[in-house]
A and B are shown apart, each in its own frame.
Chain A
């Protein structure tokens, strides 16, 4: 027991990300509860109209007293009349704390069926989290969940721990943010921290590609299957034959539609898109086999060079420079396109690509540290599962430096690296002196969070 330094105190680990909330017992290798962070809510006009829809429901009181919240696998993904979709996260940080406690409560009490009063809880935070935010999280944990002990740890550090390293350069590509965090001896070097909303740009670009017509195919309608009554098989690149559910479309809220469309885009990106391992090259792209993909409308086609242009955005902005006018004026697509909100007036305002993030991060570290950071690079996050991304990154970096990339092969480990690191940390015997106990919270107040969780 002492040999591996573990001592189980049945702590819980909660990792709140942009795409999902992960929760589980410390010492496990996989989170027990994985709940989508996006949630649905319906502002109720009448009383008790909404009958129970199985386990995917949760009453959310705090800010929307009249709203009913739908959380979990059957929350946002199930179509309900007039259901809005919201996400409490913005740029990796918790932006709206109101739905956080229902989300965590759902994960801990309804999925894991455990009582948080009995368990110390470790929560994760991004490296750029504000002190106010982490204090608010501590407050929620102590005051609402009555946990006996609490700790808030940095995802960068936890990802390094998950890879078994104390010193590492963590490249974390999530759903909304890409970050490069230098971690030294389990501490984040804040001056070297770099992050950008790169995945959002990639997502917006992919959406733009799909919804704008090309010479080979018309613009693709990103209707989710919930809004389609029936469809007929069609030949590739032929207009789809389907009947939409007009009854539902009328009652569909804008936010739900945006959410559903972005899910369609994500599906497409995950199954078709990729990145060339040696930079953009027209010939190399043509040599790659096209891939077929069918959308919920029944429309299907082969995607050739397009699918590689998406991934190129992770490394440079050349793909945007090709057609800036069409990107800047997405008039032909639905007005709710999320990338309209992205600043795209100048290239400077675009989220920086990975190589520039890494260079900036390394550049702001001490010269003595650079070698150990470069040889201990950890690539993690669900976004890093993008086809060919790790190979390309390794190729790009090894042109300038001697690098060693560590990217877990297991997709679970890659996606939930932060949680896994928290699971390792909270099960260590030497860690238990770091918990902020309820007593300390009551004695010292919010200041203890900043003092303890460095």
Chain B
């Protein structure tokens, strides 16, 4: 009962339909490495992996905008930090897979803490601009530090191989194994996000989003609440960046660019800000649209643009909001969705 998410997500929907859809989604995700190539080609398995990663990245934008009311156009910074931490630690420092993964968690999270110290003091467009500036500063830094980052060419590396106990290994060369690793990490991160937004911290995030002045009147330190959200969002974006680097065997300076942040914002808006699975729905829809349309029409981004305009105008809670509203109407429940 504590979570705002419970208040505005799918709790009003008919439970049975939600359970059926959830089971179908789970079965599909668990069997995708076999089912998808059998139905079409392995290409689509990679597309699903990409959807999962971008869902996680959009979730980081969602933590800030959907739950605490801060629209960041600088999440690319932490995405890039995650990607480059993996590339630099493995290529330049020769670290193994797990130490590199640990570094990919620590570096973007600490980075978000440092940037957040300054950024969350500001609100609205001042916050938007500052986050973009930080992201651009790192972009130019990464481009100029060619010996470390590879500059415009980026930093490629070989498919990772992770050692496990009892002599087992995870071979990322195998697309199916790689897919399951990405799926596991994304699911864990979403579970963590669910726990956070359902906790008392989540309640304080929503209170600050609703009205930061009132939140301070009930004893919340608005600065600390926003900083906590910023750090958590940085962690999620960093993990997404790491996964994307592992997935593409490459870290690019373009990951730091604000257009990467924009992708996260688009997926969140289309999917539905403030909904736990909004980013998944948004990333899945837009990436599917891209894959189908891009083959037919090179200017497919115009269609994406129109969809975003329509969403912001007619469905401010995105596809997740529309879905929840339809289900609520079907069941005649009037609770906010």
Question: Does A associate with B in a complex?
Answer: no
Residues on B lying within 8 angstroms of A by beta carbon are none
A residues contacting B by CB (< 8 A) are none
